């Protein structure tokens, strides 16, 4: 069915070309387009802020990864738990995080959701089911399985999803978690955003397995490889996996093939790939794909322009707000060590 | 009141808390059907079922991480590590995840869980099954560390640990398991607060601050010092390593003028060094003579009985140190 490849020179769209793509109505897709564009513009704005020296540390953007987050948000319920990686702005925004609070957090400003203590790598908001983005590769994956275990212990109709990269597949904790999740039929979805690079190293240079979705087959887990850049395909796969999880049929592993259009992190020199490779991948990136899909379905360019203009305004407002926002009270440095 | 073993006290605390609070569940290796390698969790699976007493594969990172996830959404897991030495296998989950979660999320998430298990030397288990880990854990803000020495304190502190909203490391020295002590009748509810020391022996010449199994060693040393040398040692049972109850230590040293901190983890960069540093920073005027610490020498624990005995900072080392301090 698929002709998968770990090589970044293979277009992302090549995976799972046979999957159904017309599962959502135009009315459903329009807000998804809006969200995808919002994520894109927030990320681009953050990169600009980083370039101007306003953001310290490591900031990883999800430019090119938007379909995974937007498809997920449409497929799951708000009360479903989510954990993800340091590359987690897109999941949080798609679940409804206010861009103002998000940008404030990245800048270390007081109105940030974690008062500036977490920053770019630790996006979180339990009221949106966002149970933590993690700076340690793979560490958030057992957390999601534990949340699924909690739902099972309590008898709740709630599932968990966790996002991780291709590089995380080589962490031992992942396999410990896969085994237990399958053995205990936990209601959890493992979503691998395979952008085919771990930091600056293509996984084809380090992996002895060429198709990541095959790893979990040894545990007896349902798994598939999909075109992670087609939001409808992502939506469809997660919807089906969620139904399995809710029905007590256990976990599903989804490998969504994607491509990171920006550097691994702000300031990445990108000496490890050619401009031609990036250019070739632009034809398959999720925002352009959805744009074309909507035009094909008869939505006018004017309507899409209008949506984009609104988003531009919202994001600019959020950036201005964050730049003006106050720093946290220095007393905050000492709080939240223990819950009292 | 009745006499029970240390093991029985822990088992009762688990049972009573599981009856009281639906959110409490147990997870670890061999804890369910077998009842725990040291029989601490025996008969709990029978009462609470597989849903709340979970036997895991040998996957410390995985089940520690899953317990953290379950705690983040409101359950209260009690994780057993078969030997405390194995915390190193899942150290990322304990220190980078559980301990830092509340802080790095600006208070949005918290991790109410207990990590418990046995540690320490004295049974010839060798280098990878005998470590005392309290000093390492004390380096990490965000996690509490308790190390009781009596069945009464063990039960009361474990109940407090389960009810605490933070990750708590609960240390059980393997030499304590079959010691016996007074315990209120089953079902009579009591707790022992975390972070509160207890004077286990009154004296006027020197204060020993310690916890866990070295507390029993210090009490024996104190009796012998009294009988053999007429020296009257006060023994403070810290009971918690994080937070440290230095107030009780200072009250004692105000009376004795001398302080010796004792623990089984190594002395170098250990919790005893911290206790000594604290008194020099906060209350040096209480000291009539230099404060000291006593812990393991910088070696791993060997198997041979004579070598292990040589290294463990137990009764004879405590006596010798006290005598040298009073010379
Ligand atoms: C345990 C651990 N090792 C190394 C790192 C440094 N690091 C951060 S991101 C990354 C690459 C991860 O790649 P992948 O899982 O494919 O995710 P991607 O960044 O491509 O989204 C590495 C090695 C880390 N954060 N944690
Ligand atoms: Mg990657």
| Shortest-distance ligand to the CA of residue A164 | 1
State the closest ligand 1 atom to the C-alpha of A169, by its place in the atom list counted from 1: 15
Residue B277 maps to a domain: yes
Please count the CA atoms within 13 angstroms of the CA of A19 that sit on its side-chain side: 25
Q: What is the pLDDT of residue A302?
A: 98
C-alpha distances in angstroms, B187 versus A139, A313, B1, B16, B39?
39, 64, 12, 7, 21
The SS3 assignment for B77 reads strand
Please check the confidence at residue A1 and state whether its pLDDT lies above 50: no
Domain membership of residue B64 as a residue range: 2-183
The ipTM value here is 0.96
A26-77+134-323 — its CATH code?
Answer: 3.40.50.970
CA distance B277 to B224: 29
Determine the Cα–Cα distance for residues B117 and B90; give it in Å rounded to an integer: 14
CATH number, position B233: 3.40.50.920
Selected residues 27-56 of chain B with any CB under 8 Å from a CB in chain A: 51-52, 56
Shared domain check, B203 and B161: no
Mean pLDDT of A257-275: 95
Total structural domains within chain B = 2
- Ligand 1 contact, A165 CB (< 6 A): yes
Based on the domain organization, do B149 and B289 belong to the same domain? no
Residue A21 has pLDDT above 70, yes or no: no
- Which of A133, A137, A141, A195 is the best mutation target for the ligand 1 pocket, counting ligand atoms within 8 Å of the beta carbon and taking the most? A137
> Contact B93/A126, CB-based, under 8 Å?
no
Is the pLDDT at A11 greater than 80, yes or no? no
- Cβ within 8 Å, pair A83-B104: no
Question: Is the pLDDT assigned to residue A321 strictly greater than 80?
Answer: yes
Domain ranges of chain A: 26-77+134-323
Residue B260: CA atoms inside 13 Å, Cβ hemisphere, count? 26
Q: Do A336 and B70 make contact, defined as CB atoms within 8 angstroms?
A: no
For B24-42, the DSSP string reads: EEEEESS-SSS--TTSTTT
The residue from B151, B183, B215 where one domain ends is B183
**Residue A210 confidence (pLDDT):** 85
> Would you say the CB of residue A195 lies under 6 angstroms from ligand 1?
yes
Tell whether B141 and B16 lie within a shared domain.
yes
Nearest CA to ligand 1 atom 22: A199
- Is residue B259 situated within a structural domain? yes
Ligand 1 atom nearest to CA at A171: 1
Residue B190 covered by a domain: no
Task: State yes or no: pLDDT of A206 exceeds 80.
Answer: yes
Residue A327, pLDDT score:
98
pLDDT(B102) > 70:
yes
CA of A203 to the centre of ligand 2 (A): 8
Check residue B186 and give its pLDDT.
84
Nearest by CB to residue A113, choosing from B61, B101, B108, is: B108
Catalytic sites of B, residue numbers: 60, 129
Q: How far apart are CA A337 and CA A333, in angstroms?
A: 9
pLDDT value of position B270 = 97
Residue among B255, B260, B202, B254 nearest B226 (CA) = B202
Inside any domain, residue B118: yes
Strands (E), A86-240: 130-134, 160-165, 188-194, 197-198, 201-202, 222-227
Please write the tens of the pLDDT for every residue from A91-127. 999 999 999 999 999 999 999 999 999 999 999 999 9
The CB-side HSE value for B12 (13 A sphere, CA atoms) comes to 22
What integer pLDDT is reported at residue A22 of this predicted model?
A: 73
* Residue pLDDT, tens place only, B197-225: 999 999 999 999 999 999 999 999 999 99
Same domain for B27 and B169? yes
Q: Which of residues 119-148 of B touch A (CB under 8 A)?
A: 141-142, 144
Q: Inter-chain contact B66–A139, Cβ cutoff 8 Å?
A: no
Q: Kindly tell me if the per-residue pLDDT of A2 is higher than 60.
A: no
Whole-angstrom Cα distance, residue B12 to residue B43? 11
Average pLDDT over residues A257-283: 95
Assess whether B92 and B229 both reside in one domain.
no
Q: What is the pLDDT of residues A45-81, one digit of tens each?
A: 999 999 999 999 999 999 999 999 999 999 999 999 9
């Amino acid at each position: 069915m698929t002709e998968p490849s770990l090589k970044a020179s293979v277009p992302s769209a090549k995976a799972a070309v046979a999957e159904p793509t017309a599962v959502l109505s135009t009315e459903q897709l329009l807000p998804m387009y809006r969200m995808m564009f919002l994520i894109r513009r927030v990320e681009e704005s953050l990169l600009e802020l980083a370039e101007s020296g306003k953001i310290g540390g490591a900031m990883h953007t999800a430019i090119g990864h938007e379909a995974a987050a937007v498809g997920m948000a449409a497929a799951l319920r708000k009360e479903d738990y989510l954990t993800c990686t340091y590359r987690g702005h897109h999941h949080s925004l798609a679940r409804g995080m206010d861009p103002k609070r998000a940008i404030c957090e990245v800048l270390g400003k007081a109105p940030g959701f974690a008062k500036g203590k977490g920053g770019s790598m630790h996006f979180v908001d339990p009221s949106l089911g966002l149970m933590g983005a993690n700076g340690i590769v793979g560490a958030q994956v057992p957390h999601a399985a534990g949340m699924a275990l909690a739902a099972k212990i309590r008898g709740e109709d709630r599932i968990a999803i966790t996002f991780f990269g291709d590089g995380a597949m080589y962490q031992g904790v992942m396999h410990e978690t896969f085994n237990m999740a399958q053995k205990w039929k936990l209601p959890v979805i493992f979503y691998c955003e395979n952008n085919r690079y771990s930091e600056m190293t293509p996984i084809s240079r380090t992996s002895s397995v060429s198709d990541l979705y095959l790893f979990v087959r040894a545990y007896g887990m349902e798994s598939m490889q999909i075109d992670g850049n087609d939001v409808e395909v992502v939506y469809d796969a997660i919807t089906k996996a969620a139904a399995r999880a809710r029905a007590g049929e256990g976990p599903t592993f989804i490998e969504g093939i994607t491509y990171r259009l920006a550097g691994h992190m702000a300031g990445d020199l990108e000496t490890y790939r050619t401009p031609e490779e990036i250019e070739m991948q632009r034809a398959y990136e999720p925002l352009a794909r959805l744009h074309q899909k909507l035009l094909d379905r008869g939505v006018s360019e004017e309507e899409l322009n209008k949506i984009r203009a609104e988003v531009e305004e919202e994001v600019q407002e959020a950036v201005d707000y964050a730049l003006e926002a106050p720093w946290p009270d220095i007393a905050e440095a000492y709080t939240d060590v223990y819950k009292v | 009141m009745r006499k029970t073993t240390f093991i029985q006290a822990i088992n009762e605390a688990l049972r009573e808390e599981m009856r009281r609070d639906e959110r409490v569940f147990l997870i670890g290796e061999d804890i369910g059907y077998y009842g725990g390698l040291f029989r601490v969790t025996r008969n709990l699976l029978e009462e609470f079922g597989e849903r709340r007493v979970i036997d895991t594969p040998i996957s410390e990172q995985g089940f520690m991480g899953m317990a953290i996830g379950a705690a983040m959404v409101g359950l209260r897991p009690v994780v057993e590590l078969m030997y405390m030495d194995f915390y190193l296998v899942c150290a990322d989950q304990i220190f980078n995840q559980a301990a830092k979660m509340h802080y790095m999320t600006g208070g949005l998430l918290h991790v109410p869980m207990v990590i418990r298990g046995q540690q320490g030397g004295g049974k010839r288990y060798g280098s990878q099954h005998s470590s005392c880990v309290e000093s390492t854990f004390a380096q990490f803000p965000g996690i509490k560390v308790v190390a009781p020495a009596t069945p009464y304190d063990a039960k009361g502190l474990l109940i407090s640990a389960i009810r605490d909203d933070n990750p708590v490391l609960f240390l059980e020295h393997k030499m304590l398991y079959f010691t016996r002590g007074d315990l209120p009748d089953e079902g009579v509810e009591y707790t022992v607060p975390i972070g509160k020391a207890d004077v286990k022996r009154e004296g006027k010449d020197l204060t020993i601050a310690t916890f866990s199994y070295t507390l029993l060693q210090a009490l024996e040393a104190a009796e012998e010092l009294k009988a053999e040398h007429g020296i009257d040692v006060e023994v403070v049972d810290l009971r918690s390593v994080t937070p440290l109850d230095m107030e009780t230590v200072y009250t004692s040293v105000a009376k004795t003028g001398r302080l010796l901190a004792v623990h089984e983890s190594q002395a170098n960069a250990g919790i005893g060094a911290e206790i000594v540093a604290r008194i020099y920073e906060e209350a040096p005027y209480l000291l009539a003579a230099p404060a000291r610490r006593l812990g393991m020498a910088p070696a791993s624990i060997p198997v041979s009985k004579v070598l292990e005995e040589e290294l463990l900072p137990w009764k004879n080392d405590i006596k010798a140190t006290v005598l040298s301090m009073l010379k």
